[in-house]
Amino acid sequence: MASGESGKSGAAARDMAGDAASPWGDALAELAAPSGGLNIAVACVDRHVAAGGGQRVALRWLGRRQDRRDITFAELADLSGRAARVLGDLGLAPGDTVAVMLDRIPELYAAALGTWKAGGVYCPLFSAFGPGPLRARLEIGRARVLIVSDELYARKLAANRDGLSGLRHVLLVRTDDGPLPDGCLDFRALLAAAEPAAAADTRPDDPAFLHFTSGTTGNPKGALHPHRAVLSHLVTGRTVFGLSGADVFWCTADPGWVTSTAYGVIAPLACGATLLVDEADIDPRRWYAILHEEKVTAWYTTPTAIRTMMRYGAALARSYRDNSLRVAASVGEPLNGEAVSWGQKALGVPFLDTWWQTETGAIVIANAPGQGRRPGSMGRVLTGIEARVVQCADGAPVPADGADTVGELVLRAGWPSMFSGYLGDDDRPGGCFREGWYFTGDLVKRDGDGFFWFVGRADDMIKCGGLRIGPFEVEAMLMDHPAIAEVGVVGKPDLLLREVPVAFASLNPGFEAGDALRAELLSFARQELGASMAPREIHFIAELPKTTSGKILRRVLKAKAVGEADSFDSLPNLPPCPGRFDDE
């Protein structure tokens, strides 16, 4: 690939840890121990205690039922030290996976930070996963320990735990005080009894967290990230959100999402800000009240959440306009220009779009302060990142950087939070790295001023409320039902969630297409996959469209689904007219 513009930023990315002038070099100097060790939990918590900030609030937790709790940096250091001791006493070895399926409750943060202190790999899982996806991830992730609420355990794993031979311990966060289920331990009781352990002396490249993501043709794959990723979180926490000890930062992401690990745990704490955590799900009235009453200064949410708030109207928003917000940003799906300016009108700050993925580990493109902003665009590359737009001719990438040429977004490998590999297979032929570049799978355009515009995915991935759903996993599960002969799953446009999974199925002989079977299949899917991944509709068709080699043509199914959607034209991803916000 031609390298016409590998300027200073590219050099910085390649030379990330050694060059003191690069943002990563400075961050490494700030966070690493004199011995060269780097541990995310120390960077987030213990170092602030050592610097005299132990009494400041690290975590302000708001419970579903109006209960609340402030946890200082000193208390969080103690709590995570206890969690590390519990895990160590159970025999967790360095690099072992600790899977965590919890809502946003204090034990989630103890589990994440405690896992890092113990030298383990933190692997959060969506609590909306059904038993099938949960089991697949525990297997592929080779989870040693699972920390889960008693209620989720009973519903999703208790009946089919056998066979998960690698899973040595299940630690329950208990909501009822009946007898402890067989083969489980009580996480809170263990925490209360433990002596805090010191953090393991992990190295920058030791594995630290694992997030499952979906491919289009294969099984779920886990993207593994090293402790070094915290350098990106510290830097982007400052450059995108301007975070410091004076901030109250709120990230609304589900704990299963990489957004929660990166910006709902690591970035704000590493920057010494107070992390605000709301246990409840989205509820615009409650959210406005929180922004206002908790004096949130920086907020990170999703386009789906913003659209939900827009539905409640600007009048409600304006009644809370007297807030402390300095910056509001969004991630996960395209943010249309209208939503950007709605933020300005309703909350007094525009929503800034940011772009990244599980694999990038942290924000790499953003409408960041000082970089200029362009509503409807994802923004520009951050310092230290080098991005290009390429098209593949005969398999070889050719640059397509000219203004408004659509191509795949590729990033020069080597920024600190880049994933170090997949557990499970990479389903892209030849993998996603070529000639030192990482291929993101997103189609974009870059305008003459360096702003990137999202066009679509290069593959069949479905984006539902920001969640990435691989059609293959849904199809494979539906195939387990005796009625289904063949099935293809695609995303149908949805005004709120952007896309929802829908299935097109042909039936085996002896089964009759009709409402009764449709209802049965939908409920089978919800039961096994969980509500978020299950198809919302099932259409019966005599035969699925296929290529000559027999591969299901999801493209054709997609066109059918789009044809049936209400008003695709008003979907928020359509390129809005560029207009410029005053920079600052």
- Find the shortest distance in angstroms from Cβ 58 to ligand WT7: 23
Decide the pairing of beta strands 298-301 and 248-251: parallel
Q: Which is nearer to ligand WT7, 118 or 489 (CB)?
A: 489
Of the pair 236, 357, the CB lying nearest ligand WT7 is at 357
Could you tell me the CA-to-CA distances from 551 to 469, 472, 546 in Å, in that order?
19, 12, 5
Q: How far is the CB of 444 from ligand WT7 (least distance, A)?
A: 9
Q: How far is the CB of 37 from ligand WT7 (least distance, A)?
A: 28
Q: Tokens 């899977």 — which residue?
A: 99
Say whether residue 252 binds ligand WT7 (CB under 6 A).
no
Distance CA 368, CA 26 (A): 20
> Does residue 213 interact with ligand WT7 by CB under 6 A?
yes
DSSP-derived secondary structure for 281-300: ---HHHHHHHHHHTT--EEE
Q: How far apart are CA 133 and CA 123, in angstroms?
A: 14
The smaller minimum CB distance to ligand WT7, of residues 169 and 211, is found at: 211
Q: Look-up: residue for tokens 């790295």?
A: 433
Which residue stretch of 68-76, 81-89, 330-338, 393-401 sits at the interface with ligand WT7 (rule: CB under 6 A)? Answer: 330-338
Measured from the CB atom, the residue of 107 and 353 that comes closer to ligand WT7 is: 353
- Residue numbers 363-402 binding ligand WT7 by CB under 6 A: 378
CB of 483 to ligand WT7, least distance (A): 31
Looking at this protein, which amino acid is placed at residue 410?
A: V
- The only residue of 357, 367, 377, 417 in contact with ligand WT7, by rule CB under 6 A: 357
Does 356 interact with ligand WT7 (rule: CB under 6 A)? yes
Determine, following the binding rule CB under 6 A, whether residue 301 of this chain makes contact with ligand WT7. Answer: no
The answer to whether the CB of 353 falls within 8 A of the CB of 377 is: yes
Give the span between the Cα atoms of 73 and 320, in whole angstroms. 30
Candidates 60, 135, 468, 554: give the one binding ligand WT7 (CB under 6 A): 468
Cα atoms in the Cβ-side hemisphere of radius 13 Å centred on 441: 21
Instruction: Please identify, using beta-carbon distances, which residue of 145 and 458 lies nearer to ligand WT7.
Output: 458
Instruction: Indicate the burial class of 43 (C-beta count within 10 angstroms; 0-12, 13-18, 19 or more).
Output: buried
Closest distance of CB 379 from ligand WT7, Å: 8
Q: Name residues whose C-beta falls within 8 Å of residue 110's C-beta, 6 or more positions apart in sequence.
A: 76, 79, 80, 82, 83, 191
Backbone φ, ψ for residue 291 (5° rounding):
-55, -45
Is the distance from CB of 15 to CB of 386 less than 8 angstroms? no
578, 452 contact by CB (below 8 A): no
Rounded to the nearest 10°, the torsion over CA 253, 264, 259, 155 is -50
Q: Which stretch binds ligand WT7 (CB under 6 A): 7-15, 328-336, 532-540, 576-584?
A: 328-336
Q: Which residue is nearest to ligand WT7 (CB)?
A: 358
Spatial separation of the C-alpha atoms in residues 70 and 86, rounded to whole Å: 23
Candidate segments 6-14, 291-299, 325-333, 529-537, binder of ligand WT7 by CB under 6 A:
325-333
Any idea what DSSP says for residue 228? T
Check residue 333 for interaction with ligand WT7 (CB under 6 A): yes
**Residue 223 bridge partners (DSSP):** 211, 422
Q: Which of 119, 268, 272, 332 binds ligand WT7 (CB under 6 A)?
A: 332
CB of 261 to ligand WT7, least distance (A): 10
Would you give the binding string for ligand WT7 spanning residues 424-443, x where CB under 6 A is met? Answer: ----------------xxx-
**Residue 454 touching ligand WT7 (CB under 6 A):** yes
Residue 154 corresponds to which tokens in the numbers above? 């009973």
Q: Out of 119, 237, 334, 471, which residue is the one contacting ligand WT7 (CB under 6 A)?
A: 334
Q: How many residues bind ligand WT7 (CB under 6 A)?
A: 21
| Residue 116 or 300 having the CB closest to ligand WT7 | 300
What does the binding site for ligand WT7 look like in residue numbers (CB under 6 A)? Answer: 213, 257-259, 331-334, 353-358, 378, 440-442, 454, 457, 468
